[in-house]
Structure 1
Amino acid sequence: MKISALSAFATCMLAVLLISPPAKAQVNREKPDALQDLGITEKLGDHIPQDAKFVTSTGDTVMLGDLYEEGKPILLNPLYYECPMLCGLVLDGVFNVLEEVNWKPGK
């Protein structure tokens, strides 16, 4: 009895599928203990107090109100100055958005 090439191939593939262990996605949905109480609370439309203190890239502490000038918006982009990847992506996104707005920082 002659077996066609297609039947032989199908039989081999079925054997491989039956022998192979199923692949399972390794999803860990539990947060580490250090992150249990960590979250994000959006406060869209709220104002940041002008006495809020921030540390500059040079290590100086400034109050937000000291940076404010009438008629000029403040772009606040909190990030780390030393991070391997994400901060660069965030800054790239900020620069891309700044190219699309009708005002320029510092002008």
Structure 2
Amino acid sequence: MLILPCNASAQTPQQILKEVGITPHPGQSIPLDAVFKDHSSDEISLREALDHQPAVLCLVYFDCPMLCKLSADGLVRAVSEIQEEVGDDFQVIMVSFNPADTPEKANLARQRLIQKYGRSPEGSGWYCLTGSQAEIERLTSAVGFQAHWDETIQQYAHASGLIIVSGEGVITQYLDGVNYVPRELSQAIKAAGDEKVSEKSANSFLTCYLYDPTTGRFGSAVQWTVRILGGLTIVGMLWMMIGLQRQNLSQNDSD
């Protein structure tokens, strides 16, 4: 998979959004010999980061204005509510898909995650990694991750989700969204520990693109998606209220 620069004049936002996402590859392996830099600028391979334990892998970039932070916060909330301990039972590995990201940015992101998690002040099991374009592409290709850099707005168009891998680097499951159900995450980690590849992997993922930091708003493509989802939610609530009212009327008539 290539993370390619985009020219806004050549492609519309809708075209770009169609080209980004995550194509699940359950059962395939990540490149364990791929080498990245950790928060201290030390080189570390994915094999060393896994250390024969299951892991939650998350692809981010540390300057993401919205979705990466939401996904990271959702992950911390979920792992804070499960019995398994980061570092003892599984690893959390966040890898930046932006080759321009630095270990300094990774360190800031890692400290924020550790502080929110609260269970292990020393940060055992928490990895925030940066790397070269070549090593990033080896990993993103293996997990089916596709993103585009838009030079005009200086942002990536990308999807968000969690990739669960076994201690030997086999992809066992994908989880979508930014708010993760603790029970589902716990089950996915246990299954990865047993080398069980799930058939229930997600196949649709939230996409982040066209966030304008000067206005605090997303571009029209994402705005319309949010509006449609909001409208469907309102319709669903109204339908439920009508159903309850009808049920109450029926009960009154029977009385």
TM-score (norm: length of structure 2): 0.26
* Alpha-carbon distance between aligned partners in 2 of 1:36 and 1:61, rounded to the nearest angstrom: 35
In structure 2, the CA distance between the partners of 1:69 and 1:31, relative to structure 1 (3 Å rule), is same
What is the CA RMSD across the aligned residues, in angstroms?
A: 2.8
- Secondary structure in 2 matching 1:77: strand
Q: Which residue of 1 aligns with 2:27?
A: 45
Give the counterpart of 1:63 among 33, 41, 45: 45
Asked whether the 8 Å contact 1:51–1:65 carries over to 2, the reply is: yes
CA deviation vs aligned residue, 1:8-33 (integer Å, no higher than 9, x gap): xxxxxxxxxxxxxxxxxxxx77414x
**In structure 2, distance between residues paired with 1:39 and 1:95:** 23
User: Does 2:75 correspond to 1:98?
Assistant: no
Residue 60 (structure 2) aligns with: 79
Q: How many residues align?
A: 77
Q: What CA distance in whole angstroms lies between the structure 2 residues aligned with 1:103 and 1:84? A: 30
The alignment partner of 1:75 has SS state of strand
Report the alpha carbon displacement of residue 93 of structure 1 after superposing the two structures with TM: 1.1
Query: Which ranges of structure 1 fall in alignment gaps of 5 or more residues?
Result: 1-27
Relative to the length of structure 1, the TM-score reads 0.53
Higher relative contact order (CA 8 A, sep 6+): 2
1:69 maps to amino acid: D
Do the aligned residues in 2 keep the contact of 1:54 with 1:62 (CA within 8 Å)? yes
Alpha-carbon spacing, 1:79–1:61, altered in 2? closer, same or farther (3 Å): farther
State yes or no: 1:31 paired with 2:12. Answer: no
- Whichever of the two has the greater Rg, that structure is 1
- What per-residue deviation string (whole Å, max 9, x for no partner) do you get for residues 38-76 of structure 1? 443211233212112334345544210112324x32222
Following superposition, the deviation at residue 98 of structure 1 comes to 0.6
Tell me, yes or no, if the aligned pair for 1:57 and 1:81 is still in contact at 8 Å: no
CA distance in 2, matches of 1:84, 1:31: 21
Greater helix proportion: 2
CA distance 1:60–1:81, change in 2 (3 Å): farther
Amino acid at match of 2:64: C
Greater strand share, 1 or 2?
Answer: 2
Partner amino acid, structure 1, of 2:55? I
